[in-house]
C-alpha cells in the first residue's frame, strides 16, 4: 500500500478542526486484488434492464409468489418471543440443527450429528463462502463444471484457488468422462458439484456421481455440493454424493430454505459435513457473520417439518410450469433443452438470428418485453454459451402466460436476418 501522500501531513487540532493547513490529497484507495475478477452481476444488470423496459422478469431466479404461511407464522411467533431476537448459537439454534439432520436422514438415509456435523449459515451462499475460506488455500486446484452459477467462480477467485473447468454441453449436458478424468490429478483439492444444476436443469445421475466419487477418492479430493434445488425434481431422483461409498468423510453438502420454501430473502442455509470439515467452515462462518438470523431460523424449523405432501405439491407445481414453458418456447421457435430439475430451462436462441446471447437478451427485453439471462458469463469460454439463453419459471401462472404471449407476438424466428440491434 502506498504510504506517501502529496503535500505536508495535516495537523488536526484537538477540537477536531483543521488548523488551516490545506487538506492533503486523499489516499490511494487500493482495493484487494481478490476483486479483480468481479463486476456487477449479470442478474442485477438484467433486472435493472427489465425494470427500465418494463419487461416480465424470467431472468433472476426468485419466485414472484411467496412462501407458505405456516413458516411465516413460526418466524412471527419467534419475533414476539423474548430471547428469540437475540444472537443464535453461532452454528445454529439446536432445534434447527436437529431438524436439518432429521430431514437429511429422511432424504439421504445418512445419520449425521446435529451438533458437530450441521452448521447453519446465512443462506447457501454463506455455506459456500465459509467452506471455501475455511477449507481452501490459495493455489489449491478446484474443478468446476461449466456452465456454473457465477458466484462459484468469483468465490474461488476470492480465495485464490485455481479453477479447472469441465464443460457440460447440450443436448443433455452429460458429464464428459474423458475431460473430467483429465481435470483430476493429485493436485486436485476439491470439486464443486451443483445438482440439480443451475442453469441447465440437469440432475446428475448416479453413474455420473459414481465417476466423480471414484476420482475424488483416487485423488484424495473433497467434494463441495450445492443442492438447493434438491426438491425441484421432475425426472430421475436427487442423489447426494455424500451417500456414495467413501464420500461422506470428504463431502460438504449444502442446501437452504430459499428455493424449497420460496423464501429466498430469508437467508437460512446449512452445510452438512463430517466434524473435521465442519470445524473449518465453522471457523470461517463465525468470523464472517457470527450467526444467522434467529427468528428466521425458527421459521426454518417449522419449514423442515413440512409433511411429504408439501414437497409433492411443490414439485408438481413446478413441473406444471416447466411443461407449460418448455412446450411454448418450442412452439415459438427455440430449441429447448428440457430440464430434469430446478426452475430453469436453457434454450438455443439461434433461430432468431442474433450473434450472441447478450444481443438476443437485449432484444428480448427491449422489443419483446421479457427478461431472461444470457448464460455466456457462466462458462470459461463465453463462446460455449453464446447460443443459449436461460429462462426461470419460478413465476406465477399469469406472469408465465403473459411472457409466452409477448414472445409469441413479438419474437419470430428468422434464418436470414442479422440484426443491427445491440444490447446494452
Least distance to other proteins, CB of residue 340, Å: 25
Of the two residues 160 and 176, which places its CB atom closer to other proteins in the complex? 160
Of the two residues 83 and 307, which places its CB atom closer to other proteins in the complex? 83
Q: Which three cell numbers stand for residue 355?
A: 450473434
Of the two residues 77 and 355, which places its CB atom closer to other proteins in the complex? 77
Of the two residues 243 and 328, which places its CB atom closer to other proteins in the complex? 243
d(CA 274, CA 252): 8
Least distance to other proteins, CB of residue 136, Å: 6
Least distance to other proteins, CB of residue 10, Å: 6
User: CA Rg, the chain, in Å?
Assistant: 24
C-beta separation of 242 from 110 below 8 A: yes
C-beta separation of 75 from 207 below 8 A: no
Of the two residues 245 and 308, which places its CB atom closer to other proteins in the complex? 245
d(CA 111, CA 252): 14
**CA triplet 325, 328, 330: central angle to 5 degrees?**
105
Report residue 252: phi and psi, to 5°. Answer: -110, 115
Least distance to other proteins, CB of residue 192, Å: 14
Of the two residues 82 and 416, which places its CB atom closer to other proteins in the complex? 82
d(CA 145, CA 217): 18
Least distance to other proteins, CB of residue 227, Å: 17
Least distance to other proteins, CB of residue 323, Å: 24
* Among candidate residues 213, 158, 172, 160, the one with its CA nearest the CA of residue 191: 213
141 forms bridges with which residues in the sheet?
162, 188
Of the two residues 267 and 390, which places its CB atom closer to other proteins in the complex? 267
- According to DSSP H, which parts of 136-243 are helical? 150-158, 177-183, 206-218
Least distance to other proteins, CB of residue 203, Å: 24
* Among candidate residues 304, 262, 274, 258, the one with its CA nearest the CA of residue 126: 258
Least distance to other proteins, CB of residue 350, Å: 31
The 10 Å Cβ neighbour count of residue 215 is 20
* Among candidate residues 91, 398, 144, the one with its CA nearest the CA of residue 272: 91
Of the two residues 261 and 379, which places its CB atom closer to other proteins in the complex? 261
Grouping H, G, I as helix, E, B as strand and the rest as coil, residue 94 is: helix
Amino acid at each position: 500500500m502506498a504510504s506517501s501522500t502529496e503535500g505536508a501531513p495535516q495537523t488536526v487540532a484537538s477540537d477536531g478542526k483543521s488548523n488551516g493547513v490545506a487538506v492533503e490529497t486523499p489516499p490511494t484507495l487500493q482495493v484487494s486484488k481478490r476483486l479483480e475478477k468481479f463486476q456487477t452481476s449479470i442478474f442485477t444488470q438484467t433486472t435493472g434492464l427489465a425494470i427500465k423496459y418494463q419487461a416480465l422478469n424470467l431472468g433472476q431466479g426468485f419466485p414472484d409468489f411467496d412462501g407458505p404461511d405456516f413458516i411465516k407464522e413460526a418466524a412471527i411467533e419467534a419475533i414476539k418471543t423474548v430471547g428469540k431476537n437475540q444472537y443464535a448459537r453461532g452454528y445454529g439454534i439446536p432445534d434447527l440443527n436437529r431438524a436439518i439432520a432429521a430431514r437429511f436422514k429422511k432424504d439421504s438415509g445418512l445419520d449425521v450429528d446435529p451438533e458437530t456435523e450441521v452448521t447453519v449459515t446465512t443462506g447457501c451462499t454463506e455455506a459456500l463462502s465459509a467452506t471455501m475460506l475455511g477449507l481452501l488455500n490459495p493455489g489449491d486446484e478446484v474443478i468446476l463444471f461449466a456452465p456454473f452459477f457465477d458466484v462459484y467462480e468469483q468465490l474461488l477467485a476470492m480465495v485464490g484457488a485455481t479453477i479447472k473447468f469441465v464443460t457440460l454441453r447440450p443436448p443433455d449436458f452429460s458429464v464428459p468422462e474423458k475431460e473430467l478424468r483429465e481435470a483430476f490429478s493429485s493436485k486436485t483439492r476439491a470439486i464443486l458439484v451443483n445438482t440439480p444444476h443451475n442453469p441447465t436443469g440437469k440432475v446428475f445421475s448416479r453413474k455420473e456421481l459414481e465417476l466423480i466419487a471414484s476420482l475424488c477418492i483416487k485423488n484424495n479430493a473433497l467434494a463441495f455440493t450445492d443442492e438447493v434445488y434438491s426438491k425441484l425434481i421432475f425426472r430421475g431422483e436427487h442423489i447426494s454424493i455424500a451417500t456414495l461409498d467413501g464420500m461422506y468423510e470428504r463431502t460438504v453438502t449444502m442446501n437452504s430454505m430459499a428455493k424449497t420454501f420460496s423464501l429466498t430473502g430469508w437467508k437460512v442455509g446449512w452445510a452438512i459435513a463430517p466434524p473435521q470439515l465442519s470445524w473449518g467452515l465453522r471457523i470461517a462462518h463465525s468470523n464472517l457473520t457470527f450467526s444467522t438470523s434467529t427468528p428466521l431460523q425458527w421459521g426454518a424449523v417449522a419449514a423442515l417439518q413440512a409433511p411429504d405432501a408439501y414437497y409433492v405439491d411443490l414439485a408438481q407445481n413446478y413441473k406444471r410450469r416447466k411443461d407449460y414453458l418448455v412446450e411454448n418456447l418450442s412452439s415459438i421457435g427455440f430449441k429447448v433443452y428440457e430440464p430434469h430439475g430446478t426452475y430453469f430451462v436453457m434454450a438455443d436462441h439461434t433461430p432468431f438470428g442474433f450473434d450472441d446471447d447478450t444481443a438476443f437478451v437485449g432484444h428480448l427485453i427491449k422489443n419483446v418485453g421479457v427478461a431472461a439471462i444470457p448464460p455466456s458469463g457462466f462458462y470459461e469460454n463465453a463462446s460455449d454459451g453464446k447460443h443459449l439463453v436461460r429462462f426461470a419459471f419460478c413465476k406465477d401462472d399469469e406472469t408465465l402466460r403473459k411472457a409466452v404471449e409477448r414472445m409469441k407476438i413479438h419474437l419470430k424466428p428468422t434464418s436470414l436476418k442479422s440484426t443491427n440491434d445491440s444490447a446494452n
